[in-house]
């Protein structure tokens, strides 16, 4: 990353963390490198395949470079904080992927995220969604955004009575995510009729709020399905005029989602800018199964849909040992100004700063003058 992009990313990182702090989120910094058994506890095969692995030269044990920060934050909540009440946590740091998750994507995202532990109600789901939207506003996303909602419990309910091995279930999930109707029909040929028909119906259930009415008609009338559809309707009504769509077959992302899940899209992004949802089981492997909901985004990808920021205004100063100059420069910098001292012979060079003012000496005093 060259100076303009690096500055934009760093300023954006600060804005996102400040926005999360405004909601009461506390910053945590999990390690990039961990013993593999700790890093991958309870995360499933998908995350294991995305994780770079190496051998510790001191102990001979296997180490991993994190591919996702959420499991680490869950362990912080479970073991290190161990609070009884609500914990709001946020983070921002690099993750590494063995493969890009789509064509032309980076293998080194700068992952920002925020999570709420300890509250199982829709209030926490709503707060996380509102924080995600506020983060995009703070970042300067001008194009309209669409919040796409789904719920992992719907597909889980449709598979509840199915006797199939894990590999088959994984292929069913892949067919749903790819909207592969013929592949799904083949995979579910031996499933109970209600499950098979429900899964095939889910493929067509995407669009506006009317999708929820259609789902109530086409899907089995079970308590889990009714609860999921009712909560999706409530969440959509709480998003303060945001454009909302639904895709009840959306199963993309890591396998630890247990309820509501969402993606936020905007023009210019090849995929969702933000992904998140409820993952109440994520802390179970650490001995503390607390309600959890959150989201994450890649700061580098977010920068790609934003307009370039203008050069930072600065003050140009001569390189000199003249009396009072050093003291004046130090005072300006202490007030937050950028002062660029021009080295001899480089007066006409252009760099990352827009020098719209200059320090000049007048009657023995150094003063700032607009250029």
Least confident of 32-41, 49-58, 245-254, 310-319: 245-254
Position 253 confidence tier, pLDDT thresholds 50, 70, 90: low
Convert the pLDDT of each residue in 174-220 to its tens digit.
899 889 999 999 999 999 999 999 999 999 999 999 999 999 999 99
Mean pLDDT (the chain) is: 91
Mean local confidence (pLDDT), 342-354: 81
CA 319 and chain centroid, separation? 45
Span 40-65, average pLDDT: 87
Question: What's the pLDDT at 350?
Answer: 65
CA 309-314-318 angle, 5° bins: 150
What's the pLDDT band for 308 if we cut at 50, 70, 90? confident
Between CA 74 and CA 294 the distance in angstroms is: 11
> From CA 108, how far away is CA 308, in angstroms rounded?
21
CA 264, chain centre distance (Å): 10
- Host H or E run for residue 5: helix 3-22
Evaluate if residue 42 carries a pLDDT over 70: no
Structure tokens at 54: 């190496």
Angle at 95 between CA 102 and CA 52, to 5 degrees: 85
**Residue 263 neighbours by CB under 8 Å, 6+ apart:** 147, 148, 250, 252, 271, 272, 274, 275
Q: How confident is the model at residue 166 (pLDDT cuts 50, 70, 90)?
A: confident
CB 321 within 8 A of CB 328: no
State the pLDDT at residue 254.
55
Per-residue model confidence as pLDDT tens digits over 53-104: 999 999 999 999 999 998 899 889 988 888 889 999 999 999 999 998 888 8
Residues 6 or more apart whose Cβ sits within 8 Å of residue 305: 141, 143, 266, 267, 268, 269, 273
Q: How many other C-beta atoms can be found within 10 angstroms of the C-beta atom of residue 18?
A: 11
151-156-158-162 Cα dihedral, nearest 10 degrees: 170
* 159 compared with 351, residue with greater pLDDT: 159
């Amino acid at each position: 990353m060259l100076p303009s992009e690096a500055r934009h990313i760093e300023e954006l990182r600060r804005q996102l963390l400040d926005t999360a702090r405004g909601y009461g989120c506390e910053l945590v910094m999990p390690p990039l490198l961990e013993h593999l058994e700790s890093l991958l506890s309870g995360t499933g095969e998908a995350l294991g395949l995305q994780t770079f692995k190496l051998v510790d030269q001191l102990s001979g044990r296997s180490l991993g470079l994190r591919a996702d920060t959420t499991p680490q934050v869950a362990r912080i909540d479970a073991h290190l904080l161990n609070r009884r009440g609500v914990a709001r946590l946020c983070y921002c740091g690099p993750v590494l992927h063995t493969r890009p998750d789509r064509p032309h994507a980076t293998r080194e995202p700068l992952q920002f995220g925020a999570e709420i532990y300890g509250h199982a109600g829709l209030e926490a789901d709503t707060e996380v969604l509102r924080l995600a939207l506020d983060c995009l506003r703070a970042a300067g996303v001008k194009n309209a955004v669409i919040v796409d909602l789904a719920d992992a419990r719907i597909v889980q309910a449709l598979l509840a009575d199915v006797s199939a091995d894990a590999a088959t279930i994984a292929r069913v999930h892949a067919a749903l995510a790819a909207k592969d109707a013929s592949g799904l029909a083949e995979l579910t040929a031996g499933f109970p009729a209600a499950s098979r028909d429900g899964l095939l119906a889910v493929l067509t259930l995407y669009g506006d709020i009317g999708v929820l009415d259609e789902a109530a008609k086409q899907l089995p009338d079970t308590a889990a399905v009714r609860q999921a559809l009712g909560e999706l309707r409530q969440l959509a009504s709480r998003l303060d005029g945001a454009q909302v769509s639904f895709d009840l077959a959306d199963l993309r992302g890591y396998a630890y989602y247990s309820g509501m899940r969402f993606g936020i899209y905007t023009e210019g992004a090849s995929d969702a800018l933000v992904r998140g949802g409820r993952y109440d089981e994520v802390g179970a492997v650490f001995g503390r199964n607390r309600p959890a909901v959150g989201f994450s985004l890649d700061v580098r990808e977010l920068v790609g849909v934003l307009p370039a920021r203008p050069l930072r205004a600065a003050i140009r100063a001569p390189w000199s040992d003249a009396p009072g100059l050093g003291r004046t420069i130090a005072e300006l910098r202490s007030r937050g100004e950028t002062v660029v001292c021009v080295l001899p012979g480089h007066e006409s060079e252009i760099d990352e700063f827009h020098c719209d003012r200059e320090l000049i000496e007048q009657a023995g005093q150094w003063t700032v003058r607009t250029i």
